[in-house]
Amino acid sequence: MELLSALSLGELALSFSRVPLFPVFDLSYFIVSILYLKYEPEMRLHYVPRAGLELLGSRDPLASASQSAGITGAVELSRRHPIASWLCAMLHCFGSYILADLLLGEPLIDYFSNNSSILLASAVWYLIFFCPLDLFYKCVCFLPVKLIFVAMKEVVRVRKIAVGIHHAHHHYHHGWFVMIATGWVKGSGVALMSNFEQLLRGVWKPETNEILHMSFPTKASLYGAILFTLQQTRWLPVSKASLIFIFTMFMVSCKVFLTATHSHSSPFDALEGYICPVLFGSACGGDHHHDNHGGSHGGGGPGAQHSAMPAKSKEELSEGSRKKKTKKAD
Residue 69 CB neighbour total at 10 angstroms:
12
Q: CA 35, CA 85: separation in Å to the nearest integer?
A: 13
Closer residue to its own copies in complex, CB, 146/219: 219
Q: Within 219-248, which residues bind its own copies (CB under 8 A)?
A: 222
195 binding its own copies? (CB under 8 A)? yes
68 binding its own copies? (CB under 8 A)? yes
Closer residue to its own copies in complex, CB, 53/254: 53
Closer residue to its own copies in complex, CB, 82/267: 82
188 binding its own copies? (CB under 8 A)? no
Which range, of 7-15, 99-107, 145-153, 223-231, touches its own copies by CB under 8 A?
A: 99-107
What is the DSSP track for 214-226? --HHHHHHHHHHH
Yes or no: say if 286 and 302 are a contact pair by the CB < 8 Å rule: no
Closer residue to its own copies in complex, CB, 80/138: 80
Among 32, 35, 71, 120, binds its own copies (CB under 8 A): 71
287 binding its own copies? (CB under 8 A)? yes
What is the residue type of 32?
V
**DSSP class of residue 133?**
G
Among 6, 12, 109, 145, binds its own copies (CB under 8 A): 109
Q: Kindly give, in sequence order, each residue whose CB lies less than 8 Å from that of residue 313, ignoring residues fewer than 6 positions away.
A: none
Among 10, 73, 202, 295, binds its own copies (CB under 8 A): 202
Q: CA 195, CA 181: separation in Å to the nearest integer?
A: 19
Q: CA 329, CA 178: separation in Å to the nearest integer?
A: 42
Exposure string for 253-263, b = 16+ CB within 10 A, e = fewer? ebbbebbeeee
Q: CA 119, CA 275: separation in Å to the nearest integer?
A: 45
Closer residue to its own copies in complex, CB, 60/259: 60
- Number of residues interacting with its own copies: please give it, by CB under 8 A: 97
Least CB distance to its own copies at residue 322 (A):
5
Among 18, 174, 234, 262, binds its own copies (CB under 8 A): 174
Closer residue to its own copies in complex, CB, 151/193: 193
148 binding its own copies? (CB under 8 A)? no
Least CB distance to its own copies at residue 175 (A):
4
Least CB distance to its own copies at residue 282 (A):
8
What is the residue type of 283?
A
Q: CA 123, CA 87: separation in Å to the nearest integer?
A: 13
Among 22, 23, 24, 70, binds its own copies (CB under 8 A): 70
Closer residue to its own copies in complex, CB, 154/291: 291
Q: CA 254, CA 273: separation in Å to the nearest integer?
A: 19
133 binding its own copies? (CB under 8 A)? no
Q: What is the dihedral of CA 50, 55, 59, 61, to 10 degrees?
A: -50
